[in-house]
């Protein structure tokens, strides 16, 4: 049985990536220093490790979730903000394993170009994909939501003004 000790460093607190090892979801635990750690056990000599960021605005029922959260958060006052830049990342590595493997993944700051992560390990690995990218569909949906929220706030202001004038 081969053991893979995975450590993720430099993750933005708002962005927790989806981590998969050979298409199996990996659950990481936060340590006292703010980084995430996971231990993966496998019988294979090579493992495919992937990291990705899924945006809420890419989900199937994004509009329903946005509507419910807008209403529940008192018309958006307490609603958490969506990432207006809509930057996602996609990383995939093939790593040859020894008996005990220590892998440290350093996440770079968000940018629309460049490498998303840096891999520090003594193992041999192949970088298949490692990039940040702007999700155009999520960006369009973010703009639509922003416009709808502005229209709703203007309509609410007009309604409140109307009821105040009518009351006097």
- Sheet (strand 18-21) strand order: 24-25, 18-21, 46-52, 87-96, 125-134
pLDDT tens by residue, the chain, 168 residues = 888 888 988 887 667 788 898 888 888 888 888 788 888 888 888 999 898 888 888 888 988 888 888 888 888 778 777 777 888 888 999 999 888 888 898 988 877 667 888 888 888 889 899 888 888 999 999 999 999 999 999 999 999 999 999 987
Per-residue tokens: 53: 């960021």
- Report how many domains make up the chain: 1
Per-residue tokens: 18: 């989806």
The CA dihedral of 98, 106, 87, 30, to the nearest 10 degrees, is 90
pTM of the model: 0.73
User: In degrees, to the nearest 5, what angle opens at C-alpha 16 toward C-alphas 26 and 149?
Assistant: 135
Three-state SS for 34? Answer: coil
Q: Which domain holds residue 78?
A: 2-167
Rg (CA), the chain: 22
């Amino acid at each position: 049985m081969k053991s893979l000790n995975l450590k993720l460093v430099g993750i933005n607190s708002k962005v927790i990536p989806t981590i998969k090892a050979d298409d199996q979801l990996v659950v990481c635990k936060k340590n006292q220093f703010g980084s995430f750690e996971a231990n993966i056990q496998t019988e294979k000599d090579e493992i495919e490790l992937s990291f990705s960021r899924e945006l809420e605005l890419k989900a199937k029922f994004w509009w329903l979730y946005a509507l419910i959260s807008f209403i529940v958060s008192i018309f958006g006052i307490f609603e958490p903000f969506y990432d207006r830049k809509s930057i996602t990342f996609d990383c995939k590595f093939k790593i040859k394993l020894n008996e005990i493997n220590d892998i440290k993944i350093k996440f770079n700051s968000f940018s629309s170009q460049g490498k998303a992560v840096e891999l520090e390990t003594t193992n041999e690995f192949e970088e298949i994909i490692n990039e940040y990218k702007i999700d155009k569909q999520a960006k369009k949906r973010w703009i639509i939501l922003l416009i709808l929220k502005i229209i709703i706030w203007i309509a609410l202001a007009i309604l409140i003004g109307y009821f105040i004038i009518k009351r006097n």
